[in-house]
Amino acid sequence: MCVFAPSLSAEAIPVKNASLMPLWSPQAQFAGYYVALDKGIYARHGINLKILRAGPGCSPVEALQKGSADFVIIWLTTALQHRSADTPLVNLAQIIQRSSMMLISKKTAGIKTIADMDGKKVGLWEGDVSIPPRTLFARQHIKIREIRQSHTVNLFLRGGIDVTSAMWFNEYHTILNSGIDPEELNIIFLRDQGMNFIEDGLYTMEKTLDKDPALAAAFVDASLEGWRYAFDHPDEALDIVIKYMREAHLPANRMHQKWMLERMQDLMTPVHPKGALGQLVEQDYDAVGRTMQKSGLIQSYPDYKAFVWRDDAGKK
């Protein structure tokens, strides 16, 4: 695809403006998009992309509904909830292929299984991101003492909570680099508990897609190309990510971003034999939909073909 596309697009495709709101402020979790932007990959695909400010207080779904963002990165669970609430959003590509959410406790707490968490103080994030652990606790009929946790891990480190929610690519590493060794922790991946609530995906509104499907296609292609470039040139990718972090006045720890980029590569690698980069596998989709429906989080979920704009996102 890439051999002729750049020259063709440069000539034939008129430059279109588009915007993307990631799930959070700049970090290697979104390396592919910042790399694609910085290396002119979006431009080569005829897109003048603006990556919008994200992070605390910014809701990608709201931005999508209001039309302030053309494309967003949200979790599959979030997307299904909103789709169920009649927000006509469409999955353009599934970035993360395996859930990276985990529940971490210190070995000294003696929590080895989900059942052990009964009655314990468990840190949960506010909002959609707490859906998977809540669903898991509900399914196992466990009552936890829920504590809303912030974006630092200090409450957990100081012993304010027994269990903390963490993303493998982010908080887990922060805990390690606060001086706690992996051997001192008990780790439970939600995906190992039958809760493979695969996270980051690229979404847009149906009407945006209908208006300009070529733009969406170009956006997905350029984004995935950005990811491939980032994995092929990790040092350069980290430079780019850290540059955007500095611009956003965020502390930028290169080792942390390196860890994040490497874990993103692990998480994006297709799990299914027929899977491809960016592809939402129907089986994964159904599993998430079914679990959510059973847990009463959604009434119903749409047919795979209706939810996924293109089931061959990465194959082209």
Partner 1 sequence: MPGKNSIVIKLVLVITFFSTVIFAVTLGYNYYRSRVILQNELESNARNLAMSLVNRVETQLTAVTKVTEGLARSLETGNYNEQQLLALLRRTVENNPEIYGSFAAFEPYAFSPNLHLYAPYYYRKNGKITFEGLENSYIDFPYPYWDWYQIPRELGKLEWSEPYFDEGAGNIVMSTCSLPFYEEINGKKQLKGIVGADVSLDALTELISSVKILKTGYAALLSRNAMILAHPLKDAIMNETFFSIAEARNDPSLRALGKKMIRGETGFVHYTSLVGITSWMYYTPIPSSGWTLAVVFPEAELLENVRKLSITMAAMGLVGLVLLTLAVIYIARTIIKPLQLLTTATDEIASGNFDVALPTVSSNDEVGILTHDFQLMELSLKEYIRNLTETTAAKERIQSELKVATHIQESLLPRLFPPFPNHTEFDIYASMVPAKEVGGDFYDFFFIDDNNLLFLIADVSDKGVPAALYMMVAKTLLKSEGQRLGEPDKILRSVNNILAADNESCMFTTVFCAILDVNTGTVRFANAGHNPPLIIDSEGVRYITMKPGLMLGAMTDIVYKTESIALKPGETLFLYTDGVTEARNRNEEMYGEQRLLEAMQRAPKEKVTEMIHYISAEVTRHADNAPQSDDITMLAIKITKLVSPLPDPEGAEYRLINSAVNNVNIEREGRSA
Q: Which residues bind partner 1 (CB under 8 A)?
A: 56-58, 121, 126, 147-150, 152, 154-155, 157-161, 176-179, 181, 251-256
Q: Which residues face 93 on adjacent strands?
A: 202
User: Cβ of residue 52: shortest distance to partner 1, in angstroms?
Assistant: 15
User: Cβ of residue 46: shortest distance to partner 1, in angstroms?
Assistant: 35
Q: Which residues face 50 on adjacent strands?
A: 19
Q: Which residue do the tokens 């079914």 mark?
A: 290
User: Cβ of residue 249: shortest distance to partner 1, in angstroms?
Assistant: 9
Measuring CA to CA, which residue among 116, 79, 123, 73 is closest to residue 101?
123
User: Cβ of residue 78: shortest distance to partner 1, in angstroms?
Assistant: 17
Measuring CA to CA, which residue among 275, 278, 300 is closest to residue 289?
300
Nearer to partner 1, 251 or 273 (CB): 251
Nearer to partner 1, 149 or 165 (CB): 149
Q: Which residues face 185 on adjacent strands?
A: 106
User: Cβ of residue 130: shortest distance to partner 1, in angstroms?
Assistant: 13
Nearer to partner 1, 68 or 152 (CB): 152
User: Cβ of residue 120: shortest distance to partner 1, in angstroms?
Assistant: 12
Q: What are the φ and ψ backbone dihedral angles of 48, each rounded to 5 degrees?
A: -95, 90
Nearer to partner 1, 142 or 176 (CB): 176
- Residue 21: is it exposed, middle or buried by C-beta count within 10 angstroms (0-12/13-18/19+)? buried
User: 308: which DSSP letter?
Assistant: B
Nearer to partner 1, 203 or 259 (CB): 259
Measuring CA to CA, which residue among 245, 155, 53, 232 is closest to residue 146?
155
Single-letter residue type at 51: I
Nearer to partner 1, 205 or 238 (CB): 238
User: Cβ of residue 175: shortest distance to partner 1, in angstroms?
Assistant: 9
Distance of CA 237 to the CA centre of its chain: 18
Longest dimension (CA), the chain: 63
- Residue 78: is it exposed, middle or buried by C-beta count within 10 angstroms (0-12/13-18/19+)? buried
Pairing of strands 89-94, 163-167: unpaired
User: 276: which DSSP letter?
Assistant: -
Nearer to partner 1, 80 or 238 (CB): 238
Nearer to partner 1, 138 or 155 (CB): 155
User: Cβ of residue 209: shortest distance to partner 1, in angstroms?
Assistant: 30
